Structure 1
Amino acid sequence: MKGVILAAGKGSRISMRGKPKPLIPFLGLPLIERNIANLVSCGIRDFIVVVGYRADEVKSYVESLAEKYGINIQVIVNNEWDKENGWSVLKAEGQVQEPFVLIMSDHVYESEILESFLHRVERQPDGVILAVDYKTKAPGHIDLDDVTKVFTEDGKIKNIGKDIDKYNGFDTGLFFCSPVIFEAIRESSREGDTSLSGGIRQLAKEGKAQAFDIGDGIWYDVDTEEMFKKAEKYFLKKYNEPKQKINLDGPISRLLNRKISLLISRRLVYSEVTPMQVSVFSFILSVLAGLVFFLKGYVPLLLGGILAQISSVIDGVDGEIARMKNMRSEFGGWFDSVLDRYSDAFVLFGLAYHSTFYHNSFMCWLAGFLAIIGSFVNSYSADKYDGYLKKRLREGKKRVYFRVGRDLRVFIVFLGALANFPFTTLAALAALTNVENVRRIVVVMKGGKV
């Protein structure tokens, strides 16, 4: 199956961003690349991209994506890009002989919409299927003055257009088309309407235009600055929600760290900073925290605690940027985990050393040893324990679990430094982490497979 992407328009209402609309960065990725990446993740490997305004610039960038994603991309130039979008669709005629997915380059979708839509359209129609948004009551994600409206009955499109009075849904710009769409657009153009909607209306007359309900899915047409900012705010949060629909963030991550890290990520995602660089920076902060703990006095203790907590917040940014910029990798996740273990060791070893300024050395080092071992096993056992929590979710159990993780451990270090109780903090961590590890063993053992 091929994907056809319309990227010919000028986007005058968002032109203040200085780039052709398809190349405007959205959370770190140009709009057109984000759509290509999402379709690739759904299994589409062959693309036709129709460009027009500033064609050479868009064409050059789009063609560079072929090697990056290991896909086939054919770029077609529409020199009549300032006309209605049906002309851009017609430019793809002759390049597709089988049903294809048609999408607008300036729309952004939740991945669930694309996945469910493409699963449905495996049953190929002799006509078109349009993904329709039926959420017409107070649609904050819709620009009602610009959106194309749809009226459907019994899953069939009866009318479509920007100015129709009777409607019960919105056109999301996501279509599954058979080649009959080309003749339908030509027929519509003979009646004076060269828009894609005009072609859909022609097929609707023949009963060949079906509607697919996207349900609760959210999408945005980022054709104005206002809608761009709304979409950015929504997807910033969406890209960092757990796909398993279970919140495995620890309490500190959920209530504090994530709120701050998302503010940082929103800025860094438009920079050249990579997730790997963020991981290393977070690690350096932890090393500095551990080294500062080697100095005697309350000020170094407090400074070390602050550095450790800042590092914990930054530790969430790398994953957020990776998800938003489609830069996730197994190595990146593994490397971040390795640095986290070294970070824990530096911070706890430094705290143990600092405690010896005021307490018996043997007890300080014993507490430090137990805290480090407990933290390491806590992290090591997290994968199996999290798998158990996901299993509980599938069985319909509660969605939020109390979880002792790195976020809580580091926050305890911060609070202990703030309160000037280094040894008490170390002893508390030694007890908490090891008791938690035993609890996990018991919980998983009682829950079934270990």
Structure 2
Amino acid sequence: MQAIILAAGMGTRLRSVSPSKPLTMVAGRPLIHRILDNLAAAGITRPLVITGYRGDEVAAAVHAWGAETLHNPEWAQPNGVSVLAAAPRLESEALLVMADHLASPGVYATVAASGNPHAGLVLGIDRRLGHPWADEADVTRVATRQGRIVAIGKQICTYDAHDCGVFLITPELMAALAPLPAPGLSDGVRALAATGRALTVDISAHDWIDIDDPRALALAEDWVG
């Protein structure tokens, strides 16, 4: 299966530790390499990394691992623009992965196996609200009903899961994002949710962490180290 990894953003909250979030060292290995390693362990062997900020450096690291890259010159725009940059390369379905979310191979395998003809996308969700690794002030919240997303965002007040940063997507997501001005990924998810085409799969049995600040980096190093 193909994986699209969004690695274009600046990552300002980790700038005190590393000038490039994907290249942040996690227990002696670049974060992007750990993500690629875990994808491969889950049988996801055709990754495409979308680069942007410090793109040459990120591309060099990704190519050294053996993966392909695609540069998004509009990397400063919301992350939905980086998703759209991959549209010409998207196959019938692919994993969509955030380059600052480190997940165990079980997360990737569970989401990859969740294909559904009634879905334009499937989002891996974690129902372990209050997990000590989650930053409740920054995590993307998800409200679900009968396996479908009904609301998503960092500011929603009623929710029953966290977004783990791993999706199974189809060209329907690209079609939902394309007409929107400078969209974020969640805008595309909301558009599909409005038609009942945004489904969920529970990955709560597996671990993941959003490495967005020094605190999360320390937790990640304890986990993998």
Equivalent of residue 145 in structure 2, options 148, 153, 157 = 153
Counterpart position of 2:107: 113
CA offset at residue 143 of structure 1? 0.7
Distance change (3 Å), C-alpha of 1:234 and 1:131? same
Q: RMSD value over aligned CA atoms? A: 1.5
Hey, what does 1:132 align to over in structure 2?
Answer: 125
CA distance in 2, matches of 1:21, 1:124: 35
**What is the TM-score of this pair, normalised by structure 1?**
0.48
Moved segments of 4+, more than 3 Å: 123-126
Code of the aligned partner of 1:195: G
Q: How far apart, CA to CA, are the structure 1 residues paired with 2:114 and 2:170?
A: 15
Match of 1:219 in 2: 208
Cα distance per residue 1:130-151 (max 9 Å; x no partner): 0001111x32110111111100
Structure 2 vs 1, CA of residues 124 and 19 (structure 1 numbering), >3 Å: closer, same or farther? farther
CA distance in 1, matches of 2:63, 2:75: 19
Q: How much does 1:7 deviate? A: 0.2
- C-alpha distance in structure 1 between counterparts of 2:223 and 2:62, whole Å: 26
Instruction: Confirm or deny that 1:163 pairs with 2:155.
Output: yes
What residue identity is the alignment partner of 1:227?
A
Q: What does 1:33-432 align with in structure 2 at a 5 Å threshold? A: 33-66=33-66, 73-121=67-115, 123=116, 126-136=119-129, 138-187=130-179, 189-190=180-181, 194-236=183-225
Over the matched positions of the two proteins, sequence identity in percent amounts to: 34
**2:36 alignment partner AA:** I
Query: Could you say which residue in structure 1 is the equivalent of 2:11?
Result: 11
1:101 CA displacement: 0.5
Q: SS of the residue aligned with 2:6?
A: strand
Letter of the aligned partner of 1:219 in structure 2? W
Cα gap change, 1:143/1:65 in structure 2, threshold over 3 Å: closer, same or farther? same
Whether contact under 8 Å (2:140, 2:162) holds in the other structure is yes
Cα distance in 2 between the residues matched to 1:55 and 1:110: 25
Q: How much has 1:74 moved relative to structure 2?
A: 2.7
Q: Cα–Cα, structure 1 residues 204 and 149, in superposed 2: closer, same or farther, change >3 Å?
A: same
Q: Is the 8 A contact 2:96 2:167 kept in 1?
A: yes
Q: CA deviation at 1:185?
A: 1.2
The gaps in structure 1 that reach 5 residues or longer are 67-72, 237-450
| 1:99–1:124 CA contact under 8 A, matched in 2 | no
Letter in 1 for 2:170: S
What is the CA distance between 1:125 and its match in structure 2?
5.1
Aligned residue number for residue 2 of structure 1: 2
Distance in 2 (alpha carbons) for counterparts of 1:31 and 1:152: 30
Pairwise CA distance, 1:235: 3.1
Question: Structure 2: which amino acid aligns with 1:8?
Answer: A
Distance in 2 between residues matched to 1:34 and 1:235, nearest whole Å: 9
What is the alpha-carbon distance in structure 2 between the residues aligned to residue 75 and residue 226 of structure 1?
A: 29
Structure with the bigger RCO (C-alpha within 8 Å, sep 6+) is 2
Residue ranges of structure 2 left out of the alignment (5+ in a row): none
For 2:38 and 2:186, locate their aligned partners in 1 and report how far apart those are by CA, in whole Å. 24
> Aligned AA for 2:205?
D
More strand by share: 2
Whole-angstrom distance in 2 between the partners of 1:162 and 1:81: 21
Give the TM-score, by structure 2 length: 0.94
